[in-house]
Amino acid sequence: MNIGLIIIGDEILSGKRQDKHLAKVIELLAARGLTLSWAQYLGDERARLTAELARAFASGDLVFSCGGIGATPDDHTRQAAAAALGQDLTLHPQAKALIWQRVQQIAAEQGSEIAIDSPDAQRRFQMGEFPAGAGIIPNPYNQIPGFFVGTVYFVPGFPVMAHPMIEWVLDQRHADLHRALGTREKSLIVLGALEATLAPLMERIEADFPGIKVFSLPSVDHPQWGRHIELGVKGDADRLEPAYAALKQGLSQYGARIGTELVR
Instruction: Return mean pLDDT, the chain.
Output: 93
Give, in words, the CATH class of 183-263: alpha beta
One of 3.40.980.10, 3.20.20.70, 1.10.238.10, 3.40.50.2300 is the CATH number of 3-177, namely: 3.40.980.10
- Tens-digit pLDDT profile for residues 177-212: 998 656 688 999 998 778 888 899 999 999 999 989
Neighbouring C-beta atoms of residue 96, cutoff 10 Å: 17
- pLDDT value at residue 151: 98
The rounded distance, in Å, linking the Cα atoms of 124 and 128 is: 8
Asked whether the beta carbons of 68 and 53 are under 8 A apart, the reply is no
The rounded distance, in Å, linking the Cα atoms of 257 and 237 is: 26
The rounded distance, in Å, linking the Cα atoms of 26 and 264 is: 14
Helices 237-254, 195-208: inter-axial angle, 10-degree rounding: 140
Counting Cβ atoms within 10 Å, is residue 86 exposed (0-12), middle (13-18) or buried (19+)?
exposed
Query: Residue 153: in which H helix or E strand, if any?
Result: strand 152-155
Query: Residue 254: in which H helix or E strand, if any?
Result: helix 237-254
List per-residue pLDDT tens for the chain, 264 residues long: 899 999 999 999 999 999 999 999 999 999 998 999 999 999 999 999 999 999 999 999 999 999 999 999 999 999 999 999 999 999 999 999 999 999 999 999 999 999 999 999 999 999 999 999 999 999 999 999 999 999 999 999 999 999 999 999 999 999 999 986 566 889 999 987 788 888 999 999 999 999 899 999 988 877 877 788 999 999 877 789 999 999 999 988 888 888 888 766
Domain ranges of the chain: 3-177, 183-263
Fold matches, 3-177 and 183-263: no
The rounded distance, in Å, linking the Cα atoms of 179 and 31 is: 9
% of the chain exceeding 90 in pLDDT: 79
The rounded distance, in Å, linking the Cα atoms of 137 and 252 is: 52
Asked whether the beta carbons of 148 and 61 are under 8 A apart, the reply is no
- Tens-digit pLDDT profile for residues 214-236: 999 988 877 877 788 999 999 87
Residue count (the chain): 264
SS3 assignment for 58-96: HHCCEEEEECCCCCCCCCCHHHHHHHHHCCCEEECHHHH
